[in-house]
Amino acid sequence: MIDIVRPAIDDVAVSLGERSYTVRVGQGLIARAGPEIAPLLRRPRVAVVSEATVAGLHLEALRAGLAISGITLEALILPPGEATKSWQHLQQTVEWLLAQKVERGDVVVAFGGGVIGDLVGFAASILRRGVRFVQIPTSLLAQVDSSVGGKTGINSPQGKNLIGAFHQPSLVLADIDVLDTMTPRDFLAGYGEVVKYGLLGDAAYFDWLGAHGPAMAAGDKGLRQQAVQRAVRMKADIVERDETEQGDRALLNLGHTFGHALEAATGYSDRLLHGEGVAIGCQLAFDLSARLGLCAQEAPVRVAEHLADMGMKRSLADIAGELPGRDALIALMAQDKKVVDGAMRFILARDIGDSFVTADVPRAALAALLDEALAGR
């Protein structure tokens, strides 16, 4: 038999005392899920929660990977899409895990993108007052962002991610191979979160993405692994400093105040994927920063050029269908979790790679920005 030599796995440590864990980034991790997960298990079985698209593509590979170590799996397959992050599916998941007799010492596996990771992590946080869970993120967005750092939750009709808990995973397996099966649209939506890292805190990473982003999108696995590893390292550093978002962690929400409002305005539907909202939101955050004189006009221009090079959505004009007016959008933004004492807080930028949190945004400037953005539709 020919031994296929795979590139090395990158291990990123997330150091949080007794809640520490490793994010493993590389190829072939699902194919050897058994040896990866076995050290965490008290008995050789796991309850896996996934969604129909991912399960159709990868569940048998996961089953085979676990079987290497004699681990069996039972799976709950939920519908794909943001609407699954709901009370209804949380209840279904928790009741199913109880019916599977998942005990305090067992491990639940979240096998899917950000929706599944958030929902299943939240279910694990409340099941029997908390059981351990493993994230196997299958989308770029989940690999670089949502699977790391322990934010879990569901959406409310009143806003995104308003119900949830901090619950760190015990292990994250970011298998670069699964990104091959993503649609170009989903991949680029996830890239919205990738570019966010360069914009919020690492200008050199933004430059690197400028040079390599298109080849990465075209399928280069070595570049994908480097991009994911570097984003996860940045996220881990921030989460280690501020696990429960008392300060710096809010920087990870660059683009999200606008993005979440746009997602709510489009009904959390296919009209706008989360990462697409983040990319448009990052652009608006840089536009607002320039409008307020906080950064040079060149910065939002460079953001727009890179998003255009990548073929990504970057303005309100790229969102199909009706959007509510400026005041309704501002009202949706005011539901953001970053609101303190009723004051909205924004992540703005002094430059690419230099962002900060502020509540000091005159409503008139925000209104003028949104008026201009809506007029461009």
Q: What residues make contact with ligand GLY under the rule CB under 6 A?
A: 145, 149, 151, 249, 252-253
Please confirm, yes or no, whether 89 is among the known catalytic residues.
Answer: no
Least distance from ligand GLY to the Cβ atom of residue 284, Å? 17
Nearby residues of 314 by Cβ (< 8 Å), 6 or more positions away: 279, 280, 283, 303, 304, 307, 308
* Shortest-Cβ-distance residue relative to ligand GLY: 252
- Closer residue to ligand GLY (CB): 274 or 302: 274
What is the nearest approach in angstroms of ligand GLY to the Cβ of residue 249? 5
Catalytic residue among 235, 306, 314, 337: 235
Closer Cβ to ligand GLY, 253 or 355, answer by number: 253
CA atoms within 13 A on the CB side of 137: 28
Catalytic hit among 151, 224, 306, 314: 151
Rg of the Cα atoms in the chain: 20
95 is catalytic: no
Taking the complex as a whole, the smallest distance from the CB of residue 298 to ligand GLY amounts, in Å, to: 27
To the query of whether residue 160 is one of the catalytic residues in this protein, the response is no
Catalytic residue among 167, 224, 253, 306: 253
Q: In the complex, what is the shortest distance from the CB of residue 84 to ligand GLY, in angstroms, rounded to a whole number?
A: 18
The single-letter code of the amino acid at 240 is E
C-alpha torsion angle, residues 305, 310, 316, 320 (rounded to 10): 150
3-state secondary structure 298-344: HHHHHHHHHHHHCCCCCCHHHCCCCCCCHHHHHHHHCCCCCCECCEC
| Residue 193 known to be catalytic | yes
Nearer to ligand GLY, 236 or 310 (CB): 236
Phi then psi for 211, rounded to 5 degrees? -80, -35
Q: Is 58 a catalytic site residue?
A: no
Establish whether 155 is a catalytic residue: no
Please, is 8 exposed, middle or buried when counting C-beta atoms within 10 Å of its C-beta (0-12, 13-18, 19+)?
exposed
Catalytic residue numbers read 129, 151, 193, 235, 245, 249, 253, 256, 260, 274
